[in-house]
Amino acid sequence: MANNSAVITESFKVEKEEKVNKKLRWAIVGCGGISQTHMGAIKKIPQIEVVGCCDIKPDRLKVMKDQWGIEAGYEKWDDLLREIKPDVIDVCTPNGVHCPAVVAAVEAGCHAITEKPMAMNPAECQQMIDAAKANDRKLAVGFQYRYHPVCEMFTRAKAAGDIGDIMFVKCQALRRRGIPNWGVFGQKELQGGGPMIDIGVHIIESAHYCIGEPRPIAASGNIWTYIGDKPSEVESMWPGWDWKTFTVEDLAIGQVRFDNGCIMQIESSFSAHIDHDIWNFTIMGTKGGFNFDTATLFTDHAGTMINAKAGYLPSAGGDSLFVAKLKNFANGILEGTPLRAPGEAGLAVQKIIDGVYRSAAAGKEVAID
C-alpha cells in the first residue's frame, strides 16, 4: 500500500530560489509532441540540464536544436548513451519503444523515466523493473495526474478519516469523438491498444494511487471498434484520422477486482455516443465519497448530507504537473526521496489495463497474477 501521508505536504512547499549542488545530465529519447512539454517543464527545474536527445526523425532533432539549443542529437540511442553518457534518460517515444529504450538506458548506467503508459504489457514492465534493479538504477513512470491538486485534496481527506474503507471507484476517460489524427495512436502493434491504454491510463493511475494501490486480482470487460476504422463523416475536433491503419478500440468498458474487495470500473473511449466528454473518477467509501471533477467530497456532517467543494486549490494548469513529476524523479535520484510513481506502480496499472484487454479477448473474466 502507498504511504500517501508521506507525500501530502509536498504541494505546500513554497517554491523559492533553490540551491542546487549537482545538476543531472538529462537526455530525451523521442522528440515529438510530449517531449516539448517536458522541455518546457525542465526549464523550471534547476536540478536538470538537458545534454542530448535522440529521435529516428532528423527533423525532430532539428526542432530540439533550433528551439531548445540541444546540439547533441542522435538517431540511435546507443550512440547517445555511448557518446554523451547522461545520468538520466527520459523516454518520450510511442508506447512500443518504452521498454527497449529503458532497458538500454539502465544497462548503460542511466536512471530512466518513461512516459505513460509504462509499456505495451505487464511482461515488458517487469523486464524494465528487473533491468533497473539488476543495474541498481532508478526507474519511474511519467504518471502526472497523481500530482494533481484534486488528488492531493482526496489524499488529505482520506488521511483525515473522511472516506473510510473504499469499496468502489469508477474511472471515466470518455471522448464523444476524439480519435488522434496524428502519431500512431490507432495502431495496436505500436501502442498496445486504444483509448484505455492512452487516455484511460491517466484516470486509472491517479484513481489507483488515491485508493492506496491495492493489488488487482481479476478483470472482466469488453472492447468495441465501430467508428475509428471508417472515414470520419461528421464534424469533430480531430477529423481525418488514419482509419485504414486503425486497429484499436473505440470504447473499452471493464471491471477490476482488487485483493481488498474494492472494485474499479473503467469506461474509456475515443468515440462514444454520449452527451459530452468526461474526465473523472468517483470514489465510494464507507464514510465518504469523492468526485475528481469537480473536486467534491460527499459526506455526512451534523445530521446533514454534505457536498463539500474545495474553496481553493492550486492550479494544475500549464506544465505544472509535468514539473512535479520530473522534479520528483530528479529529487529521488539526487536526494533519495521517495518516487511517487516507481516502476512497480506502472506495472500495477498495466496489469489492470491488460486484464481488461485479456478479458475482452477471452470473452470471460480473467485472473490477474
Ligand X SMILES: NC(=O)c1ccc[n+]([C@@H]2O[C@H](COP(=O)([O-])OP(=O)(O)OC[C@H]3O[C@@H](n4cnc5c(N)ncnc54)[C@H](O)[C@@H]3O)[C@@H](O)[C@H]2O)c1
Taking CA atoms, 52 is separated from 24, 29, 63, 368, in Å, by 12, 9, 13, 39
Cβ(178)–Cβ(236) under 8 Å?
yes
214 sits near ligand X (criterion: CB under 6 A): no
Mark 136-165 with x for binding to ligand X (rule: CB under 6 A) and - for no binding: ------x-x---------------------
Q: How far apart are CA 331 and CA 102, in angstroms?
A: 19
**Which of 31, 45, 108, 119 touches ligand X by CB under 6 A?**
31
Measured from the CB of residue 277, what is the shortest distance to ligand X in angstroms?
A: 16
124 sits near ligand X (criterion: CB under 6 A): no
Q: How far apart are CA 104 and CA 76, in angstroms?
A: 11
Burial of 51 (0-12, 13-18, 19+ CB in 10 A): buried
Quote the distance between the C-alpha of residue 49 and its chain's center. Answer: 23
61 sits near ligand X (criterion: CB under 6 A): no
57 sits near ligand X (criterion: CB under 6 A): yes
Q: How far apart are CA 261 and CA 290, in angstroms?
A: 19
Q: How far apart are CA 242 and CA 181, in angstroms?
A: 7
Q: Hey, what amino acid is at 203?
A: I
By CB under 6 A, what part of segment 233-262 binds ligand X?
none
128 sits near ligand X (criterion: CB under 6 A): no
Name the one range near ligand X by CB under 6 A: 16-24, 86-94, 103-111, 299-307: 86-94
Cβ(221)–Cβ(359) under 8 Å?
yes
Cell numbers linked to 43:
526549464
**Which of 10, 32, 279, 287 touches ligand X by CB under 6 A?**
32
Measured from the CB of residue 291, what is the shortest distance to ligand X in angstroms?
A: 21
Measured from the CB of residue 174, what is the shortest distance to ligand X in angstroms?
A: 17
93 sits near ligand X (criterion: CB under 6 A): yes
Q: Which is nearer to ligand X, 40 or 94 (CB)?
A: 94
Cβ count within 10 A of residue 107: 14
Name the one range near ligand X by CB under 6 A: 11-19, 27-35, 129-137, 147-155: 27-35
29 sits near ligand X (criterion: CB under 6 A): yes
3-state percent helix, strand, coil for the chain, nearest multiple of 5: 35, 25, 40
115 sits near ligand X (criterion: CB under 6 A): yes
210 sits near ligand X (criterion: CB under 6 A): no
DSSP-based three-state secondary structure for 153? helix
Name the one range near ligand X by CB under 6 A: 49-57, 123-131, 226-234, 293-301: 49-57
Q: Where are the alpha helices (DSSP H) in 88-223?
A: 98-107, 122-134, 149-159, 188-191, 195, 201-210
172 sits near ligand X (criterion: CB under 6 A): no
* C-alpha dihedral, 226 to 229 to 235 to 237, nearest 10°: 100
354 sits near ligand X (criterion: CB under 6 A): no
83 sits in which H/E element: helix 77-84
Q: Which is nearer to ligand X, 71 or 259 (CB)?
A: 71
**Which of 111, 116, 137, 146 touches ligand X by CB under 6 A?**
116
Name the one range near ligand X by CB under 6 A: 29-37, 162-170, 309-317, 349-357: 29-37
Q: Which is nearer to ligand X, 192 or 289 (CB)?
A: 192
Cell numbers linked to 116:
505513460
Q: Which is nearer to ligand X, 93 or 268 (CB)?
A: 93
Cβ(216)–Cβ(354) under 8 Å?
no
Q: Hey, what amino acid is at 265?
A: Q
Measured from the CB of residue 176, what is the shortest distance to ligand X in angstroms?
A: 20
Q: Which is nearer to ligand X, 52 or 285 (CB)?
A: 52
**Which of 94, 164, 212, 342 touches ligand X by CB under 6 A?**
94
Q: Hey, what amino acid is at 9?
A: T
Catalog residues that contact ligand X under the rule CB under 6 A: 29-35, 54-57, 60, 92-95, 97, 115-116, 142, 144, 183, 198
